[in-house]
């Protein structure tokens, strides 16, 4: 009997597939179509201290092999969320992971404490790809010391697993990973979206209302696999690999690079049964090779980077 069980920093999952934040709601919308007992966990949409209306429209733009989004963290704020939303989530078929966003270190601590105190929340993801209003808008995830400060402060508010979502928009993602691990992170989500933009050649205007946005989908998968590969060699805590996963082969790349679980995001918009397909495919892959557990293949292709040429890539 093949086991797909995994452990993400103390969050035990029956399946190694999480649904990415903002891509699966709370699961209600997909319940008529998907057996949610076959899902590892659902990461809820990020919530902030105060309500946010989000960015001006358009917020979504289709791109070749991907999608640009600039939602702007639209949410009702933590007070409404705890009072009106979380009570609906009791008794779900799979664990729920709350997601915290903020614009100051104190924001993260406050919202993390409020979310984690609810029994419906099994773990908390820290979305640190937000600007720090106290530091000229510098993104938390782009400064190792600032990222660590967020994690250290949030750590004091809860004993539940903390998963920190890292940004690929940095020079050295492994350096950030090391700092947040030292600050108390239990696991890492690698990676968030890649910054991008599109321009309408008829109007001569950016296609997103926010001008810039985050690119997701298969177009970023090679970037995400490399990030997991590099981070896995730098830290000892589990990694949730994410970025453009649509098939079981895509997911396997992340496990072999060093991820203990994968998160599926954009693919859910076109096929909500993607998590089941991938779980079944992983089981078949392991059975065909006589492998008893998904944990046995984690990092098996990760042999590191031998020299500067491998690190930088072949410039041909």
Hey, how many other C-beta atoms are within 10 angstroms of the C-beta on 247?
A: 14
Exactly one of 23, 94, 112, 130 is catalytic; name it. Answer: 130
The DSSP-derived string for 91-151 is T-SS-EEEEE--SSHHHHHHHHHHHHTSTTEEEEEEE--SEEGGGTTEEGGG-HHHHHHHH
Question: Quick check: is 130 catalytic?
Answer: yes
Asked if 99 contacts 21 with a C-beta cutoff of 8 angstroms, the reply is yes
| Tokens 């950030």, residue located | 176
Sign of CA dihedral 35, 36, 37, 39: positive
- Pairing outcome for strands 121-127 and 187-190: unpaired
CA distance 54 to 160: 29
- Pairing outcome for strands 96-100 and 121-127: parallel
The H or E element that residue 63 is part of is: strand 60-63
Catalytic positions, please?
130
């Amino acid at each position: 009997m093949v086991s797909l069980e995994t452990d993400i920093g103390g969050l035990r999952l029956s399946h190694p597939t999480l649904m990415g934040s903002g891509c699966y709601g709370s699961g209600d919308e997909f319940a008529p179509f998907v057996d949610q007992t076959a899902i590892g966990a659902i990461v809820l949409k990020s919530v902030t201290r105060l309500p946010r209306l989000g960015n001006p429209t358009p917020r979504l733009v289709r791109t070749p092999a991907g999608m640009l989004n600039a939602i702007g963290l639209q949410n009702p704020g933590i007070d409404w969320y705890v009072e009106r939303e979380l009570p609906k989530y009791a008794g779900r078929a799979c664990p729920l992971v709350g997601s915290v966003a903020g614009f100051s270190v104190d924001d993260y601590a406050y919202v993390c404490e409020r979310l984690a105190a609810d029994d419906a929340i099994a773990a908390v993801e820290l979305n640190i790809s937000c600007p720090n209003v106290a530091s000229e808008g510098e993104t938390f995830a782009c400064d190792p010391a600032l990222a660590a400060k967020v994690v250290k402060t949030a750590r004091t508010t809860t004993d539940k697993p903390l998963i920190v979502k890292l940004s690929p928009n940095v020079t050295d993602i492994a350096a950030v990973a090391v700092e947040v691990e030292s600050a108390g992170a239990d696991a890492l989500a690698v990676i968030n979206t890649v910054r991008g933009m599109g321009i309408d050649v008829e109007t001569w205007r950016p296609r997103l209302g926010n001008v810039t946005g985050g690119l997701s989908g298969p177009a970023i998968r090679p970037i995400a696999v490399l990030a997991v590969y590099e981070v896995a060699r730098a830290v000892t805590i589990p990694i949730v690999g994410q970025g453009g996963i649509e098939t079981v082969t895509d997911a396997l790349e992340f496990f072999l690079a060093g991820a203990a679980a994968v998160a599926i995001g954009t693919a859910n918009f076109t096929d909500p049964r993607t998590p089941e397909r991938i779980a079944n495919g992983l089981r078949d892959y392991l059975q065909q090779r006589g492998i008893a557990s998904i944990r046995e293949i984690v990092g098996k292709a990760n042999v590191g980077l031998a020299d500067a040429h491998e690190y930088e890539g072949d410039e041909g």
